[in-house]
Amino acid sequence: MKNILVLCTGNSARSQMAQGYLQYFANRSGHGDQVQVYSAGVAPHGVNPLAIQVMNEDGIDISHHTSNHADEYLHISFDYVITVCDNAREQCPIFPSSAEKIHHSFPDPGHTPGEDALTSFRRVRDLIKPYSQEFITSRLGESKTQ
């Protein structure tokens, strides 16, 4: 079993969307029974309703996700820890794990001047999706179902 943790500051949007896509692509490739994806933050404050909405638009249901603190997962041996915002990389405590640490910063949805929040969330979702697909393909290999 491969354990993946996605970290962001608030665990409300970017990490939640990445968690949804990573698990989706693992399942779709036939590796779902070999992967468990978690998300957490250093200052969690609930899953953003716009993140739920834009993921639902793409057929991914994250409405059951919870916003968790990174400390809640200290007992899990992770294979990969992915930080998806610069603040998380800088502010996260050293995660006690032998996991491969990967950083890929995505813009903070809803905080782009001149762009409405929903458009911003869709744009960030559309950046996270191909990254997540490529991550699963490159780390787990090609689809087992082909």
**Residue from 4, 82, 88, 92 carrying the catalytic annotation:** 92
Is 92 in the active site?
yes
AA identity, residue 51: A
Tokens of 55: 């993921």
**Residue from 8, 18, 55, 70 carrying the catalytic annotation:** 8
Is 42 in the active site?
no
Residues whose CB is less than 8 angstroms from the CB of residue 118 and which lie 6 or more positions away in sequence, other chains included: 50, 53, 54
**Residue from 26, 85, 124, 128 carrying the catalytic annotation:** 85
Residues whose CB is less than 8 angstroms from the CB of residue 77 and which lie 6 or more positions away in sequence, other chains included: 3, 97, 98, 99
SS3 readout for 26-83: HHHCCCHHHEEEEEEECCCCCCCHHHHHHHHHCCCCCCCCCCCEHHHHCCCCCCEEEE
Separation of alpha carbons 77 and 19, rounded Å:
17
Q: Which residues are catalytic?
A: 8, 85, 92
